[in-house]
């Protein structure tokens, strides 16, 4: 099940903690990947690692998502390199946390530009070749924060909530073309960043999670692989919450 052999995928933020787990999950199921990010050396190293482990001749495409011209070039570059694009995973994102009264315009603008606007531009561009092929999978990584909110993250919550609403709208527009559009909303996932927390901080977080622990990157990778598969062809406009029961959202 969930065999992605013969499919191609673009993953943004591919060398990060969750991004690398998503890329690994797709590669493990047989997809050939275009790995995108802003750090060329990290991308190259990760690509070589994937090629050694799974084969498929994966490629890397550097892109600064804050640069509109580079974003507009990313889908055409993926199609030129891989020959087609079957799966788009909008994973890249940043945080610029601050309380509302202290939040600077730049902190708002940067998060919206990279987390929300860049995803819109990539979706809009990817839909064209997908419609021509009458097949496509668009999966966007949102967050429990986009549904539940979080103090100090008005910008991030607005972007993540916007991604969900945007995905639902696009899903309705292109459902008859064989293209699905869904979201995966992680809760607390163990990454290099959360590993820096002390035991008391980790304990406070785990106490909020019915399963009593943070999730792993592989949990997100598996969710994305499922939504990208043929088997998920009748699922669109949905958000799959992967949070250990921390927020039981419909």
Of 123, 131, 127, 129, residue with least CA distance to 82 = 129
Q: Are strands 179-186 and 239-242 parallel, antiparallel or unpaired?
A: parallel
DSSP 212: S
Could you tell me which residues come within 8 angstroms of residue 231 by beta carbon, excluding any fewer than 6 positions away?
1, 2
Alpha carbon distance 32, 145 (integer Å): 31
Residues 54, 156, 188, 226: which is the catalytic one?
156
Chain centroid offset of residue 186 CA: 10
Residue the block writes with tokens 């994973």: 91
Angstrom distances, CA of residue 248 to CA of 54, 148, 161, 201: 35, 10, 16, 22
Quick check: is 226 catalytic? no
Copy the structure tokens of residue 175.
């459902």
Could you tell me which residues come within 8 angstroms of residue 127 by beta carbon, excluding any fewer than 6 positions away?
136, 138, 170, 174, 179
Which residues form the catalytic set? Answer: 156
């Amino acid at each position: 099940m969930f065999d992605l052999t013969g499919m191609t995928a673009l993953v943004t933020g591919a060398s990060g903690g969750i991004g690398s787990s998503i890329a690994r999950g797709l590669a493990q199921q047989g997809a050939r990947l275009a790995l995108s990010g802003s750090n060329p050396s990290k991308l190259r190293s990760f690509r070589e690692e994937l090629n050694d482990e799974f084969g498929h001749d994966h490629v890397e495409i550097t892109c600064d998502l804050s640069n509109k011209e580079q974003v507009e070039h990313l889908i055409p570059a993926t199609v030129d390199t891989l020959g087609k694009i079957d799966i788009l995973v909008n994973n890249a994102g940043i945080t610029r946390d601050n309380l509302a009264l202290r939040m600077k315009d730049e902190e708002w603008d940067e998060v919206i530009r990279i987390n929300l606007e860049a995803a819109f531009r990539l979706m809009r561009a990817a839909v064209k070749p997908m419609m021509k092929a009458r097949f496509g999978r668009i999966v966007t990584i949102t967050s429990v924060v986009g549904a539940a909110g979080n103090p100090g993250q008005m910008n991030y919550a607005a972007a993540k909530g916007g991604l969900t609403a945007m995905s639902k709208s696009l899903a309705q527009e292109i459902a008859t073309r064989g293209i699905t559009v869904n979201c995966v909303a992680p809760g607390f996932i163990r990454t290099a960043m959360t590993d820096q927390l002390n035991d008391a901080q980790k304990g406070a977080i785990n106490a909020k999670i019915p399963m009593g622990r943070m999730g792993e990157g592989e949990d997100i990778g598996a969710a994305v692989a499922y939504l990208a598969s043929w088997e998920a062809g009748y699922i669109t406009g949905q958000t799959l919450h992967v949070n250990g029961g921390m927020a039981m959202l419909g």
